[in-house]
Amino acid sequence: MTTLGVNIDHVATLRQARRTTEPDPVTAAALAELGGADGITVHLREDRRHIQERDLLLLRQTVQTHLNLEMAAVPSMVDLALQVKPDYITLVPERREEVTTEGGLDAVAQQDYLTQVVATLQGAGIPVSLFIDAQPAQIKAAAALGAQFIELHTGPYAGASTESLRREQLQILEQACVLAQAQGVRVNAGHGLTYKNVRPVTELPAVEELNIGHSIISRAVFVGLERAVREMKQAIKLD
């Protein structure tokens, strides 16, 4: 069964728009869990544009499901992660000027450095996932450097402008899943997934958890977070 990790970054985005105390992502996490979230995901960015350290510390104490920390593979974040000990970590590339994460990590180019980071984190008992593009070389590099999980970047699938391009991207994801399985790496997926496009991704072999943020938080503005999460759980449920 595919599980749902709800990314609550944009609740903090709204709070930071006024640099005030509401809405609180800690409350959001509790409501998401009431709606059926299987996990809570936050991205603590270097520029602290949404989630703050305070949020991460409180979430570590209050999340009842599991906490997935998305972070850049930089020494300051590794230190913080070792203190906070989230349930798993997703390493992502980070560029200051981007609106959201734009592409996967380059596990091929950074293989030596990432090997050290992954060994440090997994050595402390925190499983690591690498957010990568669905390319064979990236999957093989992720496996070679010892990551327990990959998160396949579903952005190209979500952004496909025609049905045939969408099918093509789905096939690329499917082949990536098969390769990851053969390499002994567990698979998550995410980015750009919505109520409308999520279903085929749940039917891919091996995909364990989907990390979804923008679409759920957008819907929550109108229907409330608990209901928005429940509806996404419904959308990903296999009959």
Cis peptide bond prior to 86, omega within 30° of 0: no
Part of the chain binding ligand PXP (CB under 6 A), chosen from 110-118, 159-167, 188-196, 197-205: 188-196
- Residue 96's φ and ψ, nearest 5 degrees, are -55, -40
If one asks whether residue 133 binds ligand PXP (CB under 6 A), the answer comes out as: no
Part of the chain binding ligand PXP (CB under 6 A), chosen from 12-20, 191-199, 200-208, 222-230: 191-199
Distance CA(134)–CA(121), nearest Å, equals 23
For ligand PXP, which is the closer residue by CB, 60 or 103?
103
CA dihedral 58, 59, 61, 65 (to 10 degrees): 170
Among 147, 198, 213, 220, binds ligand PXP (CB under 6 A): 213
For ligand PXP, which is the closer residue by CB, 182 or 223?
223
Which residues in 97-116 contact ligand PXP (CB under 6 A)?
Answer: 100-101
SS3 assignment, position 75: helix
From the candidates 10, 50, 153, 191, give the one annotated as an active-site residue: 191
Which residues in 17-76 contact ligand PXP (CB under 6 A)?
Answer: 43, 70
The reply to whether 43 belongs to the active site is: yes
Q: Do you know the residue count of the chain?
A: 239
Nearest to 91 by CA among 117, 63, 123: 117
For ligand PXP, which is the closer residue by CB, 151 or 226?
151
Distance CA(187)–CA(80), nearest Å, equals 25
Among 25, 35, 86, 190, binds ligand PXP (CB under 6 A): 190
Distance CA(209)–CA(68), nearest Å, equals 11
If one asks whether residue 211 binds ligand PXP (CB under 6 A), the answer comes out as: yes
If one asks whether residue 209 binds ligand PXP (CB under 6 A), the answer comes out as: no
Part of the chain binding ligand PXP (CB under 6 A), chosen from 20-28, 29-37, 60-68, 209-217: 209-217
Distance CA(145)–CA(173), nearest Å, equals 21
**Residues paired with 131 in a beta bridge:** 151
Catalytic center residues: 43, 70, 191
